[in-house]
Amino acid sequence: MGTPPLVTVLMPIYNGEAYLRLAVDSILSQVFTDFELLLINDGSTDGSAAILESYADPRIRLYHNETNLKLTATLNKGISLARGQYIARMDCDDIALPQRLNKQVIFMQQHPDIGILGTNYRVINSEGEPGTTSHYPTEHGLIRWRLIFGSYIAHPTVMMRTDVIHQLGGYRPGIVAEDYDLWQRAAWHTRLANLPDCLHLLRKLASSASRVQYTQVYASSIATSLAVMTAILGHEVRGFSENPLSLATQIHNWRFESSKDASQAAYLLYDLAQASAADTSLTSHEHHLVCNDAARWLTHIFRKHRTLSTLILAVKLDPYLPLRLPGWVIHWFTDPSH
């Protein structure tokens, strides 16, 4: 096998023949070259296997699952096979831009405290036409805080320290939103980051997932969101609502069933921001980012539900907030949607 590479690029494949060659070629043409490309064909029934077998690049290690193990099991198999110090994820229908691995390796070497590093990405469609570009937070404290609302690290873009992922036990079987779950477990074990650069083209296709699969992912995401809140507070989410799961669901969806629910959400978010600000593992700059971000979320609640207590909580978190209020008032009265 020779000297282990610095990076293992882990790409699971299931019936990906349409864009597979583009994905593989985008890795093989990276500026950074000290990697192995670990391709795991997860029981594909299309022409994926033939495409994979056509490559003769010595950096490729190809495995075929005898049956379709599904994504989580295939990812964990890849983690066990990886020889690199870092594991970089890649999807079989995406395109990694040429500098992606190079910039991620440089950052990881310069920041040994970072265990998981994502990048921003541009959405492309089935024809490769560009769409929106992500603008994810870059600092650990803000990323961890934003995990309340969703997964603010794009799974196909990440580079992870192999030893950290082994310590976390890899992806948890039975968890449908496996990446979101991994980030929330990792957030209290290591530090997270995103590069501000757009280094990945993430292909969004018409969803072929069944309604059952969508429901499972949704339920898993809500459970993860609630787990993040519990971890930040240091105790279960109680005292804010008779039904904490319902409140967590409304916060995750950012839709509130009543002004009472919106007010309860505001007090919960305020306490979550205060708990984050008291966390000595975060820097003072991260405390500032979290409090300002929480204040912005609270002002969104205020603008829709007009509860004065919510605005007061927002100002407590961001004392400079009143300086921006005149602009909001003008927007409120001039916006035809109101």
**pLDDT at residue 330 greater than cutoff 60:** no
Contact indicator for 202, 122 with CB cutoff of 8 Å: yes
Query: Given this model, what pLDDT does residue 70 score?
Result: 95
pLDDT band at 337 (very low <50, low <70, confident <90, very high): very low
CA distances from 210 to 45, 55, 206 (A): 19, 33, 12
CB contact at 8 A, 223 and 248:
no
Q: Which residues neighbour 50 within 8 Å (Cβ) at sequence distance 6 or greater?
A: none
Tens digits of per-residue pLDDT, 98-110?
Answer: 999 999 999 999 9
pLDDT recorded at residue 213: 75
The model scores a pTM over 0.85: yes
pLDDT tens, position by position, 115-149: 999 999 999 999 999 999 999 999 999 999 999 99
DSSP 184-231: HHHTTTSEEEEEEEEEEEEE-------HHHHHHHHHHHHHHHHHHHHH
Domains of the chain as residue ranges with CATH? 7-203 (3.90.550.10), 237-334 (no CATH)
Query: pLDDT class for 334, splitting at 50, 70, 90?
Result: low
Q: What is the pLDDT of residue 227?
A: 94
Is the per-residue pLDDT at 26 higher than 50?
A: yes
Can you tell me the distance from the alpha carbon of 129 to that of 229, in angstroms, rounded to the nearest whole number? Answer: 38
Q: What are the DSSP calls for 109-164, one per residue?
A: HH-TTEEEEEEEEEEE-TT--EEEE-----SHHHHHHHTTTS--S-GGG-EEEHHH
- Is there a contact between 149 and 225 (Cβ–Cβ < 8 Å)? yes
Q: Over the stretch 156-210, which tens digit does the pLDDT of each residue have?
A: 999 999 999 999 999 999 898 999 999 999 999 999 999 999 999 999 987 545 4
pLDDT at position 207, please? 59
pLDDT (tens digit, 9 = 90+) per residue, 214-269?
A: 788 889 999 999 999 999 999 988 777 778 888 889 998 888 888 888 999 999 99
Mean pLDDT of 289-304: 91
Residue type at position 294: A
Q: What Cα–Cα distance (Å) separates residue 298 from each residue in 31, 141, 145, 267, 284?
A: 44, 18, 14, 9, 21
Q: Which DSSP helix (H) or strand (E) runs through 39?
A: strand 35-41
DSSP label of 36: E
Does residue 274 have a pLDDT over 70? yes
pLDDT in tens, 69-80: 999 999 999 999
pLDDT value for 216 = 87
**Confidence (pLDDT) at 157:** 98
- Report the 10 Å Cβ neighbour count for 119: 28
Mean of the per-residue pLDDT values of the chain: 92
Stretch 261-286: mean pLDDT, rounded?
Answer: 94
Is 325's pLDDT higher than 70? Answer: no
